[in-house]
Structure 1
């Protein structure tokens, strides 16, 4: 029973297919090395991470980390396969080799590793390390998005919106974009601006800073939606007919028909109110 905590640590690593940010003591490290050298994949994975992070008094050594990741990966450990792919992509501890990174990444992706699915989807999307293949990109991004990855959902939305790698479906595109936003991915400034690449058609209403950023940057649909908020006094905005008219006008000037009709209705309503006074 002396080594029960250590056995539980190995069992947890085996069940999860990865090691968490657990810092090993020198005694645990010695036991891990012993078990790893006997061929235990979970111990090999823990030893690889110890070398990568410098745990248990070890100096960081990416070369030895890559060696032990490979030993665990050769036994089918999905997390080790994914991390080994990252090392080959970065040239960390091994010679940079993008095709080999893609190969290890695909092995991990097929075992259900969401991070590997996302990164493999990006590789096929960009044609990095593999021949560009939008159908495969869509497939892997779909799996990662269904697993809860917000970046995959964002990229998948783009593919569905423009019919890349498969049929075009704007409703599905909007749903994936909304899911990504709900997961917080669109909070970054980079992605707020990237939304513009989706065009001017949104099936779900944006609000708050995201909407104002897009409107200020010239997105006609966002300008129309912001005008609606000012007209109705919704979305955190006070009712302001002048502001509503101004945003409707800006959107209408870009050819947004909904905004043009909204502006006509707003002016008609104002004129009727003046007559009835």
Structure 2
């Protein structure tokens, strides 16, 4: 099988939640976060659930305010009480990671399930991750795959990457590097850094594709441009090998 470059699938089932998690209310947020907060506060006081989620995002990510997970939790809770899918998803994230609340995977699952009932792609993807890792549920790769497929059908990049990883690892499916490549390509087309790194690894090792160090380097460069540390290390290794 040859040298496996830097833990080929060390990012097995990417579930990192970054500052860009909650997307819909973000369309109301400009670079002037303080102005956004002022408008959100006025609307949130009148019970506007989008504004409540917007405030939750600002406090969760420390945009225009000091980062404050308990405040984020309070605003997300107000919106979730109005059946706002993004707020339900956000609460699931807080419980999953223990941000502002005691970490509770079962509570995370319950909130994700409320959001997936409204076909929320992010919640579908995160629910799949819970099943992969057996967090708050019995570990079940087949169920995880089903949730990833639902989210991937909505073009959710992380779910597409995660499906690729299931195929690469043979978890809940027959190991199939070509299928892994297909899903990684879909996610990489959306600039998903971990999928770009995964594609580079496939090409470096010749898994599901003809081994091609030049193509591997191109994908590693794309991931490294997004500050993906393992991709940077992979480029160093390729350079040391004269590629």
TM bucket normalised to smaller: 0.5 to 0.7
**1:110 corresponds to which residue?**
117
Higher relative contact order (CA 8 A, sep 6+): 2
**1:136 corresponds to which residue?**
143
Q: Judging changes above 3 Å, is the alpha-carbon distance between structure 1 residues 191 and 35 closer, same or farther for their aligned structure 2 residues?
A: same
Residue 123 of structure 1 pairs with residue 130 of structure 2: yes
**Displacement, 1:174?**
4.7
**Displacement, 1:206?**
5.7
Q: Matched residues in 1 for 2:195 and 2:211: separation?
A: 11
Residue 49 of structure 1 pairs with residue 60 of structure 2: no
Residue in structure 1 matching 2:83, options 76, 93, 101: 76
Q: Judging changes above 3 Å, is the alpha-carbon distance between structure 1 residues 118 and 206 closer, same or farther for their aligned structure 2 residues?
A: farther
Q: Matched residues in 2 for 1:180 and 1:94: separation?
A: 31
Structure 2 counterparts to residues 1-277 of structure 1, below 5 A: 17-20=24-27, 21-22=29-30, 23-25=32-34, 29=37, 32-54=40-62, 58-160=65-167, 164-165=171-172, 172-184=179-191, 185-188=194-197, 192-193=200-201, 195=202, 202=208, 204-205=209-210, 207-209=212-214, 211=216
CA offset digits 1:118-165 (Å, max 9, x no partner): 222111111122211212201111122222234422331343466643
Conserved 8 A contact 1:19-1:45:
no
Q: Judging changes above 3 Å, is the alpha-carbon distance between structure 1 residues 76 and 169 closer, same or farther for their aligned structure 2 residues?
A: same
Q: Matched residues in 2 for 1:85 and 1:46: separation?
A: 16
Structure showing greater Rg: 1
Q: 1 or 2, which has the higher helix percentage?
A: 1
Conserved 8 A contact 2:131-2:137:
yes
Structure 1 gaps of 5+ residues are: 1-15, 214-277
Q: Matched residues in 2 for 1:168 and 1:53: separation?
A: 38
CA offset digits 1:187-243 (Å, max 9, x no partner): 33x7745x49xx9651x4464445579xxxxxxxxxxxxxxxxxxxxxxxxxxxxxx
- Say which SS state the counterpart of residue 26 (structure 2) adopts: coil
- Say which SS state the counterpart of residue 143 (structure 1) adopts: helix
Q: Judging changes above 3 Å, is the alpha-carbon distance between structure 1 residues 178 and 41 closer, same or farther for their aligned structure 2 residues?
A: closer
Q: Matched residues in 1 for 2:37 and 2:92: separation?
A: 24
Q: Judging changes above 3 Å, is the alpha-carbon distance between structure 1 residues 191 and 132 closer, same or farther for their aligned structure 2 residues?
A: farther
Query: May I ask how many residue pairs the two structures share in their alignment?
Result: 191
The alignment's TM-score, normalised by the length of structure 1, stands at 0.55
